[in-house]
Amino acid sequence: MPDDKANSWEARADAHSFYGFTDLPTIRERGTVVLTHGEGPYVVDVHGRRYLDANSGLWNMVAGFDHPGLAEAAKAQYDRFPGYHAFFGRMADTTVMLSEKMIEVAPFARGKVFYTNSGSEANDTMVKMLWLLARAEGKPDRRKILTRKNGYHGVTAVSASMTGKPYNAEFGLPLPGFLHLTCPHYWREGRPGESEAEFTQRLATELEDTIAREGADTIAGFFAEPVMGAGGVIPPSEGYFQAIRKVLKKHGIPLIADEVICGFGRTGELWGSQAYSFTPDAIIASKAMTAGYFPMGAVILGPDLADRLDAAVDRIDEFPHGFTASGHPVGCAVALKAIDLIVNEGLLDNVRALTPKFEAGLAELAQHKNIGETRGKGLMGALEAVQDKATKTPFPGDLSVSERIANACTDRGLICRPLGQAVVLCPPFILTDAQMEEMFSKLSDALDAVFREVG
């Protein structure tokens, strides 16, 4: 290998970086895309190539990659008070302000917030809260956690156990006591002749049967994303949350909305639970909460869980849990600014304004003979590739169709993510009409090219 090749950014990335969630055959063939900076919704690589990032980084960079207000908010906080914890009865003033703001914008009349550094940690924290609560309330066997197949809740040992993806078997997960119910994807999971209402009812019955089989007093909580994100952008079937909410309520099982993707505007409402008209008992937030400018996650407890947990920890004088950087003041300053941009400075308005055009773009691509379904909510969408539209038969796995599509997009200066046989779109909230057109035209081109090869 010539020297310049051996010293390339791609080779240097390979030499010392252990990749996560990265298709290694693609890397071997194409090299890592090493990025230097961004401009609005675009990112730029070490060779000066520009890509429209139709995935907002990883769902989170909703204000784009060079927002001056967010950088200024971080800088001002770094200058004033660059770091502190939230242990031992001490806490930064900025953390106090963010909690007030979080409860103000949350779909709860009141509640309490606990901070983490990520969505995974927030889900872990919530599970520990439910376990502690169950013991304090004299129901120590209430430990099982219910989620859905294809649900994504993170990668720590507990949140990976909640995640309903086959790859976690590689780790010998899930841990015992983590149960995965049917994914509420009517197009894929509905039976021949079954109406959407019947499908929803079947899933509610499955939940009822599961609770009967396991015993309500062995179940700590039910976690669900309003729209499944990393499972392939799967909106729930009609009436799904109303149906399962009823069953859970009857058995006193809390419903936790994992709003790590949906929260803060992605669906066109501030919360995905609002988009589907249900009120959860608690919310897990992260990703867009800081517009991706600082790692941060949060558990937002609604009034009932906040009161019960307050009482539970009162007995033992403290909640023995927390991360060194929980409630980091710089993260809190960035989150305050990000929430302000979303709620007051037009980002959520722009999601709503762009949604009809986004839906129309998806609908047009759905005409393609190898696109089985397009689906989405607000500014999150997916296209599902199929070999045969009528029978919904997927392409053979070894064709790696969605990877091919994503790579064909990369070649055209568009970043979008392959997920199973689907391709995901979740552009930044700052997108313009012209950038939306660029996104769909490049994607359409890439689809034509790939389906010519494999279709």
Ligand X SMILES: *Cc1c(COP(=O)(O)O)cnc(C)c1O
**Shortest gap between Cβ of 55 and ligand X (angstroms)?**
12
Does residue 223 interact with ligand X by CB under 6 A?
no
Q: For residues 260 and 298, which CB has a smaller minimum distance to ligand X in the complex?
A: 260
Does residue 258 interact with ligand X by CB under 6 A?
yes
Residues 309-348 as x/- pattern, contact with ligand X by CB under 6 A:
----------------------------------------
Spatial strand order in the sheet of 417-419: 371-377, 380-385, 422-425, 417-419
Does residue 164 interact with ligand X by CB under 6 A?
no
> Which residues are paired to 181 by β-bridges?
148
Q: For residues 292 and 329, which CB has a smaller minimum distance to ligand X in the complex?
A: 292
- Residue pair 254/282 in contact (Cβ under 8 Å)? The answer is yes
Does residue 95 interact with ligand X by CB under 6 A?
no
**Shortest gap between Cβ of 425 and ligand X (angstroms)?**
15
Stretch that binds ligand X, among 102-110, 118-126, 318-326, 382-390 (CB under 6 A): 118-126
Q: For residues 211 and 325, which CB has a smaller minimum distance to ligand X in the complex?
A: 325
Distances (CA, A) of 335 to 72, 342, 366, 415: 12, 10, 37, 26
Residue of 107, 184, 229, 232 interacting with ligand X (CB under 6 A): 229
What contacts 99, CB < 8 A, 6 or more positions away? Answer: 112, 113
Strand, coil or helix: 388: strand
Does residue 124 interact with ligand X by CB under 6 A?
no
Q: Which residue is nearest to ligand X (CB)?
A: 119
Does residue 273 interact with ligand X by CB under 6 A?
no
Residue of 296, 232, 347, 265 whose CA lies nearest to 86: 296
Amino acid at 69: G
Does residue 120 interact with ligand X by CB under 6 A?
yes
**Shortest gap between Cβ of 332 and ligand X (angstroms)?**
17
Q: For residues 148 and 153, which CB has a smaller minimum distance to ligand X in the complex?
A: 153
Q: For residues 297 and 427, which CB has a smaller minimum distance to ligand X in the complex?
A: 297
Strand, coil or helix: 223: strand
Does residue 41 interact with ligand X by CB under 6 A?
no
Does residue 56 interact with ligand X by CB under 6 A?
no
Q: Calculate the CA dihedral of residues 369, 373, 378, 381 and round it to 10 degrees.
A: -80
Alpha carbon distance 266, 275 (integer Å): 10
Alpha carbon distance 349, 429 (integer Å): 9
**Shortest gap between Cβ of 440 and ligand X (angstroms)?**
24
Does residue 230 interact with ligand X by CB under 6 A?
yes
Q: For residues 101 and 165, which CB has a smaller minimum distance to ligand X in the complex?
A: 165
What contacts 287, CB < 8 A, 6 or more positions away? Answer: 58, 59, 60, 119, 260, 261, 263, 264
Q: Residue 402, Cβ neighbours under 10 Å: how many? A: 25
What part of residues 136-155 is at the interface with ligand X (CB under 6 A)? Answer: 152-154
The count of chain residues that interact with ligand X, using the rule CB under 6 A, is 16
> Which residues are paired to 380 by β-bridges?
377
Residue of 260, 270, 383, 405 interacting with ligand X (CB under 6 A): 260
Q: For residues 256 and 401, which CB has a smaller minimum distance to ligand X in the complex?
A: 256
Residue of 294, 299, 352 whose CA lies nearest to 106: 299
Residue of 64, 119, 226, 280 interacting with ligand X (CB under 6 A): 119
> What DSSP letter does each residue of 15-77 carry, written as one string?
HH---SS--HHHHHHH----EEEEETTEEEETT--EEEETTHHHHT-TT-S--HHHHHHHHHH
**Shortest gap between Cβ of 82 and ligand X (angstroms)?**
22
- Residue tagged 């001056």 (tokens): 68
Does residue 227 interact with ligand X by CB under 6 A?
no
- Which residues of the shown chain bind ligand X in the complex (CB under 6 A)? 118-120, 123, 152-154, 225, 229-230, 258, 260-261, 286-287, 297
